[in-house]
Structure 1
């Protein structure tokens, strides 16, 4: 006879089996996400590894990174480099929706989205975790190749090719970054020709621009990677029009480009950012 006692045991067995069945779905990601509630902030956390890469005269810089779960495709995982904004070092891949400038939470979502969709993520650090040298007067022009950024990033790219970060595909590199990291994303087109499949410049502009001080060359590199822009129309730090100049120049030269403008957005990551970054990278395999 099937009794209430049997029913409890049966339901317990079903629950246990459900846990085992569900395991692959949540274990298939190196990231976890807790949705925000009225009493608890949202949290995104992706596990990561760290290493140190030579950076010329100042020694070495930290790089944090993670690869997707599962078996890499033939040739290795495509890899997305994410460049920090000024003063916001990527020390780990942990984000809370309650943090000051909580829109950084969408940076965490971008990292999670890339990892969950088969892109390895590498986050090199700017000098002293401050800002990139791409637009520093005296280094932004012909002397850029004497900078520690150039030495460091060259070594990072070599490390990708040498398998230092795991089974990655150095021929499928992508880059994005916000603010100073957005300018540094543009630098990939200027000083590292042929290295990148596609770029997403977030709240930034051309490599040598700095806020409202911005001049885009009349001729861009012919092999400039396809470049997408994400920008807030009311950005008070990097004016929207400075991005627009860069965007127009790409259009004039017939270089693949696109953009997303957050109408009331300021200098920040947006809810739309993760999907826009992923879509642009996937469109350029």
Structure 2
């Protein structure tokens, strides 16, 4: 049987594509999907997740959602990022829209970027899904009495025990916005030696609260490297309150850096995902 020129051409193209596919490295499936914004629909980022409950006291538990990267964990387990919610906006799932307040869509981009670059992501819940205890006047200087302290201690133990899967408890990182940003700082103050690096979005020192802010003259000598992302016109957590913290880290020669969005308010930014990833990658 004689094949036509067009048939031969199709055979050659198919064989060529097969050869290319056979030699190209396979890309790991992402646990996330992203839909661009259109005239009819908002943009959407959605990552699959798992959930569990961790004790926060002898009589109460809190929900934790989490996800691991696709593929096989490296030797020692996946590095892990704890992401802390802002006030009144619990992380009950990993789905975000461009219509979400406080740049929530770009928080989704942070989660997606971390998962696709080999970091597990764990999102513990604040008390009653409201806000963290770190800067409440009655607990700011007595933090060990808070259920946050008990809860997060148990979360860290669950990481080490393998309850979330193959994670590397020696490579923990933290980030969060607003109340979650203050809580990110709390990791340096009350959990020495636990974290490799921190990224504070629209927040400041652990015990600060908006314009009521005082940074100690002496920060812990083992304070993790800390990066700040802040809007210059943030009316909730003033930029200068972050600047005080940043300057103190500089003074003590603790690695730090910052990104200021000059027109930014109290929100995640389009640049947040790449900045957070780069900072954590710098401290393996």
TM-score band, normalised by shorter chain: over 0.9
* Cα distance change of structure 1 residues 23 and 91 upon mapping to structure 2, 3 Å threshold: farther
Q: In structure 1, what is the equivalent of residue 241 of structure 2?
A: 242
Assess if the C-alpha contact under 8 Å between 2:102 and 2:266 holds in 1.
Answer: no
Assess if the C-alpha contact under 8 Å between 1:58 and 1:148 holds in 2.
Answer: no
Q: Distance in 2 between matches of 1:277 and 1:2?
A: 57
Q: Tell me, which stretches of 5 or more residues in structure 1 are unaligned?
A: none
Residues 78-129 of structure 1: CA deviation (Å, up to 9, x unaligned) = 00000000011000001111x2416210000000000000000000000010
Q: In structure 1, what is the equivalent of residue 131 of structure 2?
A: 131
Q: In structure 1, what is the equivalent of residue 63 of structure 2?
A: 62
Q: In structure 2, what is the equivalent of residue 118 of structure 1?
A: 118
Q: In structure 2, what is the equivalent of residue 211 of structure 1?
A: 210
Q: Distance in 2 between matches of 1:100 and 1:127?
A: 22
Q: In structure 1, what is the equivalent of residue 182 of structure 2?
A: 183
Assess if the C-alpha contact under 8 Å between 2:49 and 2:66 holds in 1.
Answer: yes
Secondary structure at the residue paired with 2:134? coil
Secondary structure at the residue paired with 1:200? strand
Assess if the C-alpha contact under 8 Å between 1:96 and 1:102 holds in 2.
Answer: no
Query: For 1:43-122, what aligned pairs fall within 5 Å after superposition?
Result: 43-57=44-58, 59-97=60-98, 99-101=99-101, 103-122=103-122
Q: Distance in 1 between matches of 2:231 and 2:58?
A: 37
Residues 30-61 of structure 1: CA deviation (Å, up to 9, x unaligned) = 11111222232211111100000000155000
Q: In structure 2, what is the equivalent of residue 150 of structure 1?
A: 149
Q: Distance in 1 between matches of 2:270 and 2:39?
A: 19
Assess if the C-alpha contact under 8 Å between 1:251 and 1:257 holds in 2.
Answer: yes
Residues 203-254 of structure 1: CA deviation (Å, up to 9, x unaligned) = 0000000000000000000000000000000000000000000000001111
Q: Distance in 2 between matches of 1:102 and 1:263?
A: 16
Assess if the C-alpha contact under 8 Å between 1:57 and 1:148 holds in 2.
Answer: no
* Cα distance change of structure 1 residues 58 and 249 upon mapping to structure 2, 3 Å threshold: farther
Q: Distance in 2 between matches of 1:100 and 1:76?
A: 33
Q: Distance in 2 between matches of 1:207 and 1:254?
A: 19
Q: Give the alignment's TM-score, normalised by structure 1.
A: 0.92
Q: Distance in 2 between matches of 1:231 and 1:148?
A: 28
Q: 1:269 deviation in Å? A: 0.3
* Cα distance change of structure 1 residues 41 and 162 upon mapping to structure 2, 3 Å threshold: same
Q: In structure 2, what is the equivalent of residue 221 of structure 1?
A: 220
Give the RMSD, CA atoms, in angstroms. 2.3
* Cα distance change of structure 1 residues 264 and 44 upon mapping to structure 2, 3 Å threshold: same
Q: 1:74 deviation in Å? A: 0.8
Q: 1:157 deviation in Å? A: 0.1
Q: How many residues align?
A: 280
Q: Distance in 2 between matches of 1:40 and 1:23?
A: 34
Q: Distance in 2 between matches of 1:268 and 1:135?
A: 20
Secondary structure at the residue paired with 2:196? strand
Say if 2:161 is the partner of 1:174.
Answer: no
Q: In structure 1, what is the equivalent of residue 272 of structure 2?
A: 273
Q: Give the alignment's TM-score, normalised by structure 2.
A: 0.92
Q: 1:181 deviation in Å? A: 0.1
Large movers: runs of 4+ above 4 Å: 1-7, 20-24
Q: Tell me, which stretches of 5 or more residues in structure 2 are unaligned?
A: none
